[in-house]
Amino acid sequence: MRHYGFIKSFGKYDRYQDREQDYGFIARDGQPDIFFHRKHTTCSGRELDEGAAVTFEVVANPRNGKEEARRVCPLNRETDVQVLTAAAHSGENTIRLQAAPKWLATQPIEVQVREAIQFCSMFSSADRRFFVSALPDTVLLQERKLRDHLPPGKRFDICCRLVKETEPLTTTVHEELIEAVYSVIDGKDWNAARESSVALLPLGTEIVQVIRSIKPPSYLKRGPYISHIPIEFFQKFPLFRSLITRATLDEAIPVLVKLLQDKHCWEEKPEGAIAELLWRDAPSQRKLYCIYYVAKERLELPNLERLRTDDFLINAALSLLWARDHAGSRIKAFDRAHTLIQDWVTEQAWISTNHLDLSPMLPECRQGYISVSYCEARPWQDNSVAFCPRARSGCCIEGAERIKMRPRYATGHYRPWKEGQRRRDKGYLIASTSIVVDGKACFDVTQLNGARLYPDCTKSWMDWSLLELIKASDVTPNIPDQLRSPTEYVPKLAGWINRLNEIRARLKCSTCSQIMAPNYKYARHLARYNSTIVSCHQGAGHDHNIYLNHCWACREIVDSREATIRVGEFYLCLHCGSGPMRSDTYQQGSICPKCGTHEMIGSGRVRTCGTCNHTIRLPAYHQITGTNSTFPSADVDDVYDAIDEGFLE
């Protein structure tokens, strides 16, 4: 009777005899390892690597009576069905993995398919691929669940055979063929695809020819592999059009624009014009990048009006692109684009609490210490630096030359030095990236992490934003009573989006948890983007006219459901006690923002209510409202900040 096992060791180096050993050991299921000698094998030593499954006979050694293995041979040469059956169902994974394909070959095709699926559920991902690759093609052609585990090249060849043998060609087989082509491209298994000699009769031989024509070096160097495919193939086969969605951004956009410019792609067909189908199926971000590419390269897009979709943001970008070639209607085009952006924001903001994503339309904030998505910075200090309203401090401008900045105490923000400025060494920290010039701490500003205030159309189209699109379209933003300067438009739009994203969780009614509707007087007005008033549509007993705002001093959110004390029309901030930004009568800390008790007590910048024990931290010295007299309990650091900013002499 023959037994099975796997090589545990064989041919180890014997340093005393300076040669390889002629013996080894075989591991068995639930039994001790058994000895065998090279002279008792029926194969070469190269086939007896560690881990190789083998079969053998057990005999007793006449000299010492111990068991040893005789007639040892690789399991793939075994013909005894009983041994193969036992090995295929062994509890040892190494043996089962090598024995299962050999045993399946002895069974009817129906049993092979059923048992192969069962074996796949027992193996890990890597073992599953090894096992399926060892199965005969007749089994793989029967079941897609098995083909899905094949290496890309092998799967492509099997799908080619499947296409030839399937008559007529079904939708399922066609879709699987598309996935097989994707796996070849994504897996870079080029040799298998290029050497395939199978002609895809239902689709013609073009697919195989194109796969063969793609050179591996161009793709491995991140070259545009789909640029090798002729435009006619995209027009003729949906398979190639679907490749555009799988290609990287820098590869897909130029090809998509070429197709949109081709007049043949606009010819009407039963399923619709190819250009319209491509544009409809493209993700919104890729559509926006496509518009950037056209604007950057100064290209023309025919049938621009037919590209308009249900996406307000894409329609807004198309309106700006249209304005480039219609100088007399640029004001009208901007008004239309702004209205579409407003409509999209107000619609999305009040139907869900999901994050509002306007990338790559708005420039991103690249300062790690500010937890907002988009840059709100404005020009400051004669346009030499930017002012960040979130950080309440200066920020370098992207692309500007190196400027000297000083770290602001305790906050980590940076402000520019002024000539002849009073400076106190104590209390100012020098960052690890700072340098010292003329004895002063200066910040070495890089060009990549600054604020994006001005358009730079020389950038790659993949780095463009609404700033560059407006510039390329020769449009001047102008909204009466809302913008003091055209450069404010994009920062104010970014501030509006940032703020809406920050208050998403507060838009739910405290009674029914439904999203409340806005008062559009505030929701659609950029000049008032800091204020939002919302109400629940359920009526009585639910939240009504809830006021949401950012405190102008500490930037925390003021929610009228929590902050109930008002001074005039302004709710008091629970964090710093600020109310009206300009007031000659109210001063932070004079009224508790929690219960309304007058005269909170404390020293320094901390105040505590004697009635409800609510504690606030006063804002910086120059943000204290009310009396113009000196504030006795202000921090000395705030005094120096006020001097630096010119609030005090």
Tens of pLDDT, residues 594-603: 998 887 888 8
pLDDT tens per residue, range 52-107: 889 999 999 888 888 999 999 988 888 888 888 888 888 888 888 888 888 998 88
CA distance 614 to 28: 74
Provide the 10 A C-beta neighbour count for residue 42: 14
Contact (Cβ atoms closer than 8 angstroms) between residue 273 and residue 265: yes
Average pLDDT over residues 178-199: 52
Of the candidates 145, 166, 170, the one whose C-alpha atom is nearest the C-alpha of residue 155 is: 145
Rounded to whole angstroms, the Cα distance separating 361 from 344 reads 13
Where does CATH 2.40.50.140 sit in the chain?
2-101
The pLDDT, as a whole number, for residue 225 is 56
Q: What is the pLDDT of residue 464?
A: 93
Structure confidence at residue 403 as a pLDDT band (50, 70, 90) = very low
Residue 409 in this model has a pLDDT that exceeds 70: no
* Region of poorest pLDDT, from 9-23, 411-425, 473-487, 545-559: 411-425
Residue 211 has pLDDT above 60, yes or no: no
Distance set, CA 262 to CA 236, 277, 473, 633 (Å): 13, 14, 23, 73
Q: Supply the mean pLDDT for the chain.
A: 76
Measured CA to CA in angstroms, residue 341 lies from 323, 338, 372 at distances of 16, 5, 20
Report helix, strand or coil for 531.
strand
- Asked if the model's pLDDT at residue 505 lies above 60, the reply is yes
**Closest C-alpha to 156, from 136, 171, 176:** 176
Rounded CA-CA distance 344/325 in Å is: 25
Half-sphere exposure of 238 (CA within 13 A, CB side): 11
DSSP string, 263-302: GGGGS--TT--HHHHHHHHS-HHHHHHHHHHHHHTT---S
pLDDT of residue 157: 74
2-101 classified as CATH 3.40.50.720: no
**Do the beta carbons of residue 533 and residue 546 sit within 8 Å?**
yes
123 has a pLDDT exceeding 80: yes
3-state secondary structure of 309: coil
Reported confidence tier of residue 634, pLDDT bands at 50, 70, 90: very low
> Contact at 8 Å (CB) between 558 and 573?
yes
Tokens encoding 530: 């800091």
Question: Is the per-residue pLDDT at 275 higher than 80?
Answer: yes
What is the C-alpha to C-alpha distance for residues 48 and 394, in angstroms, rounded to an integer? 72
What lies within 8 Å, CB to CB, of 105 at 6+ separation is: 112, 136
Question: What is the per-residue pLDDT for 468?
Answer: 93
* Most confident by average pLDDT, 123-137, 285-299, 544-558: 285-299
Helix then strand then coil, in percent of the chain rounded to 5, is 40, 15, 45
Query: Could you tell me the pLDDT band of residue 196, with boundaries at 50, 70 and 90?
Result: very low
At residue 344, does pLDDT exceed 80? yes
pLDDT at residue number 414: 42
**Contact criterion met (CB below 8 Å) for 639 and 646:** no
In terms of Cα–Cα distance, which of 39, 64, 123 is closest to 88?
A: 123
Sorting pLDDT into bands at 50, 70 and 90, what band is 520? low
Instruction: Check residue 295 and give its pLDDT.
Output: 93
The answer, yes or no, to whether residue 342 has pLDDT greater than 80, is yes
pLDDT-above-70 percentage for the chain: 73
Residue 27: its H or E element: strand 23-28
pLDDT at 230: 67
431, amino acid identity: A
Closest CA to 137 of 107, 113, 171: 113
Q: Is the pLDDT of residue 638 over 50?
A: no
Question: Do 344 and 489 form a contact (C-beta atoms < 8 A)?
Answer: no
450 Cβ contact list (under 8 Å, min separation 6): 366, 386, 395, 396, 397, 398, 399, 400
Instruction: Tell me which of 184-198, 278-292, 564-578 is least confident.
Output: 184-198
With 70 as the cut, is the pLDDT of residue 511 above it? Answer: yes
Band of pLDDT at residue 315, cut at 50, 70 and 90: very high
Please give the pLDDT value at position 382.
63
- Provide the pLDDT for residue 171: 64
pLDDT band at 175 (very low <50, low <70, confident <90, very high): low
SS3 of 142, please?
coil
Residues contacting 628, CB < 8 A, separation 6+: none
What mean pLDDT is predicted for residues 314-340?
92
Q: Residue 430: its pLDDT value, please?
A: 29
Q: In this predicted structure, what is the pLDDT of residue 399?
A: 60
Tokens of 592: 């508790």
Encoding tokens for residue 457?
């159309």
Q: Which two tokens stand for residue 142?
A: 């029967």
Phi, psi for residue 71 in degrees, rounded to 5 = 50, 50
pLDDT of 407: 42
Spatial contact of 349 and 500, defined as CB atoms under 8 Å apart: yes
Rg (CA), the chain: 37
Query: What is the C-alpha to C-alpha distance for residues 549 and 530, in angstroms, rounded to an integer?
Result: 6
What angle is formed at CA 555 by the lines to CA 552 and CA 559, rounded to 5 degrees? 90
Tell me how far apart the alpha carbons of residues 306 and 294 are, in angstroms, rounded to a whole number.
16
CA atoms within 13 A on the CB side of 475: 34
Longest dimension (CA), the chain: 113
Q: Tell me, what's the pLDDT at 480?
A: 80
Q: Which residues pair with 615 in a beta bridge?
A: 608
28 forms bridges with which residues in the sheet?
A: 31
Q: What are phi and psi of 443, to 5 degrees?
A: -105, 125
Q: In the prediction, which pLDDT does 584 show?
A: 83
Per-residue model confidence as pLDDT tens digits over 435-463: 333 344 444 333 345 778 888 899 899 99
Residue 199: predicted pLDDT: 36
pLDDT on residue 227: 65
For strands 67-74 and 31-37, give the pairing.
Answer: parallel
> What is the reported pLDDT for 273?
85
Does the pLDDT value for residue 321 go beyond 90? yes
HSE-CB for 91 with a 13 A CA cutoff: 5
Q: How far apart are CA 537 and CA 512, in angstroms?
A: 10
Of the candidates 376, 409, 371, the one whose C-alpha atom is nearest the C-alpha of residue 395 is: 376
pLDDT > 60? residue 518: yes
Mapping DSSP onto H, E and C, the string for 197-260 reads: CCCCCCCCCHHHHHHHHCCHHHHHCCCCHHHHCCHHHHHHCHHHHHHHHHCCHHHHHHHHHHHH
Q: What percent of the chain lies above the pLDDT cut of 90?
A: 15
Measured CA to CA, the distance from residue 160 to residue 534 in angstroms comes to 60
Contacts of 330 by beta carbon, 8 Å cutoff, 6+ apart: 323, 473, 474, 475, 476
pLDDT digit string (tens) for 220-247? 333 345 666 667 767 766 766 777 777 7
Torsions phi, psi for 27 (to 5 deg): -85, 140
- Structure tokens given for 286: 């890729």
